[in-house]
Amino acid sequence: MSSDSMLERIKSIAVLPFVNIGPVENEYFADGITEEIINALTRVGGLKVTARTSSFYYKHKNIDARIIGNELGVETLLEGSIRIFNDRVRITTQLVRTDTGFHLWSENFNRQLSDIFALQDEISLNIAERIREHYGHLDIQDHLIETPASNVEAYKQYLKGLQLRMRWNAADVASAITYFTQCIELDPSFSRAYFEKGWCIGMLSSWGYREKEKGLGEAYNHINKGLELDPNSSLGYYAKGTISFWGYWNYRDSYTFLRKSLEINPNAAEVRDALADFFAALGQIDRALEQNQKALVLNPLSANLHFTRGNLLYFKRDYKNALFHIEKALRLDPGFPIALEMKAAALIWDGQQEQFAIYSGNTRGLERPKICQFLYDAIHHTTVFNITEEELREELDTASTRSLRAWELYLEIYRGNQPKALQMLEEQLRQRSGQLFNFKNDPFLDPLRESDLYKKLEASVFEASAMPVFEGSAPPVDPPCPLSGEEQEEYAAAVTKAMGEELYLDPGLSLKKMAATVALHPNKLSWLLNNHFGKNFNDFVNTYRVQKFQQLALMPENKQITLLGLAYDSGFNSKTVFNTFFKRDTGMTPKQWVKTHS
């Protein structure tokens, strides 16, 4: 692992789903609080935060922290539980190192339910502080969560809607709208409810589950209302960017909004995923793969992201590697509809006759298995399946749902009915059908590409006026130094003086306490310790404590005091921390060191 990737891993966390202790109907609340803390931590620049989908993969699973840390590539885990009783909420939290399982921090909170927003902020700030103290400098805002709603009941409706929306299927997305609507009625100033409602309506309209033009207009109205309330919302620009893309294929606006969303929150895996779809639609597959890889770092157990990677490799005609990622998506979510369809397509093009025969004949939920089998024979010039016209008509007549892939269009192409196929393509492109947003890359459409009408259609979709202007890759700019050279010397002297006065003997010493002592903002002190002294807070303080222990251990009058007692007298408050740090600092156990120096 490179030093850069090691640093990225060190300042990293996954927030596991908080356990709901109480009635099952409160499950949505525990899930919602977990997601709020995840979203809050993504606001801390320099901290890698695993996205919700991957964290929630471990819900109801009793797996060792070290295994989870390895699978997610994170150094810390936050675990917790929530219990709601009457108008109170009790939350327990533990921050755990994934290399050792050691608890860095734990605390219990018992508050009024009306204080839930302040409590979420307090927990998020505590976590960020502990990671900074143990692993290195982070700039942490004074608040990570602003009060999102004016009353708890509105917030509850929002969380119920969010729980449904996150299931990513049309029925639940449609049901979520009701809760977001109720939330808005209870609190018309709650911007996030407008974003979520607009996103749900817009996506359903884009994929043909609602009347398109009316639905997209309604979606935009809600999102714009939310942005009036919160003009600096990453979620708001993400929602607007995705609806611009899926609903209108408006590449210029979509890119502008998604870039804006990413500038506000660079840790948003959903935005990276949307940008991957955006670049893919333009035929820029390598740029799409780059965004997808960045999203996978944040969300490594996302079925959707592995599907997207498989889809992109499929467009590069790398069918075997495409199938690897599609299979991974289906292991994570065996019923993932679009992945089921993509697997059929990849097996067809890879010519895996035996596997395709088993898959197309036995997979429940596959939309058009007979059409798929017809296509296999037509593409590979075989008669393995020998599907009759009667079988095709029967499948088309009995189809009860709109297909996720354009199987009917593909059928006409490989029947040799190019005029009809081009007519169907023209109509679906005019409607900006979600099935065909990647038509530029689709291998099934290759037989049409040399026709004049196809060329005309593609040119009309990607006309220059609709294309975004891509910014050049500017070199990374180092953040400005928070302290001048003179200030660094001044505050370094103040820190050294405070430690000389044995500030470190306080076992509850925190970076914030030290900052108050030397009259310096915690963010600036964190930077000073890391960049001037070359240590994170914990290492810096514990170095003094080790030196104090060594001094005490060699004093004759302390021979009757245990080594652990001397460690506590030196400011340590944990046997594990003392022994671990002492050995790391000196290369010996405390007992070995004392024996050597006596």
Give the pLDDT of residue 2.
Answer: 39
Q: How far apart are CA 365 and CA 562, in angstroms?
A: 68
Q: Which domains does the chain have, with CATH numbers?
A: 3-147 (3.40.50.10070), 302-444+452-458 (1.25.40), 493-597 (1.10.10.60)
Give the pLDDT of residue 540.
Answer: 93
Q: How far apart are CA 145 and CA 122, in angstroms?
A: 9
Give the pLDDT of residue 444.
Answer: 97
Sign of CA pseudo-dihedral 319, 321, 322, 328: positive
Strands 48-49, 12-15: pairing kind: parallel
| Segment 520-547, tens digit of pLDDT | 999 999 999 988 898 999 999 999 999 9
Asked if 89 and 49 count as a contact pair (C-beta separation under 8 A), the reply is no
Strands 88-97, 103-112: pairing kind: antiparallel
Q: How far apart are CA 513 and CA 534, in angstroms?
A: 20
> Residue 360 burial by CB count (10 A; 0-12/13-18/19+): exposed, middle or buried?
buried
Q: How far is CA 419 from CA 174, 290, 416, 445, 460, in A?
A: 37, 37, 9, 13, 19
pLDDT band at 4 (very low <50, low <70, confident <90, very high): very low
| Segment 423-481, tens digit of pLDDT | 999 999 998 888 898 999 999 999 999 999 999 999 999 988 888 887 655 444 556 78
Higher pLDDT, 2 or 420: 420
Q: What's the whole-number mean pLDDT along residues 286-308?
A: 94
Residue 109: closest CA among 98, 117, 97: 117
Strands 48-49, 103-112: pairing kind: unpaired
| Segment 318-332, tens digit of pLDDT | 999 999 999 999 999
Residue 428: closest CA among 275, 206, 252: 206
Displacement of CA 544 from its chain's centroid (Å): 39
Residue 191: closest CA among 222, 159, 162, 153: 222
Enter the pTM of the model. 0.84
Give the pLDDT of residue 33.
Answer: 87
* Angle formed at CA 227 by CA 225 and CA 228, multiple of 5 degrees: 65
Q: How far apart are CA 15 and CA 49, in angstroms?
A: 8
Q: What's the whole-number mean pLDDT along residues 258-272?
A: 91
**Which of 151-160, 167-176, 512-521 shows the highest mean pLDDT?**
512-521
Give the pLDDT of residue 440.
Answer: 94
pLDDT exceeds 80 at position 97: yes
Identity (one letter) of the amino acid at 158?
Answer: Y
Residue 319: closest CA among 344, 296, 300: 344
pLDDT exceeds 90 at position 11: no
| Segment 41-61, tens digit of pLDDT | 988 888 899 998 899 999 989
Residue 453: closest CA among 427, 473, 433: 427
Residue 121: closest CA among 139, 106, 141: 141
Give the pLDDT of residue 469.
Answer: 81
Q: How far apart are CA 115 and CA 124, in angstroms?
A: 14
Any alpha helices (H) in 333-444, and if so which ranges? Answer: 337-350, 353-362, 369-380, 389-398, 407-414, 418-430
Which residues sit opposite 76 in a β-bridge? 13, 97
Give the pLDDT of residue 294.
Answer: 93
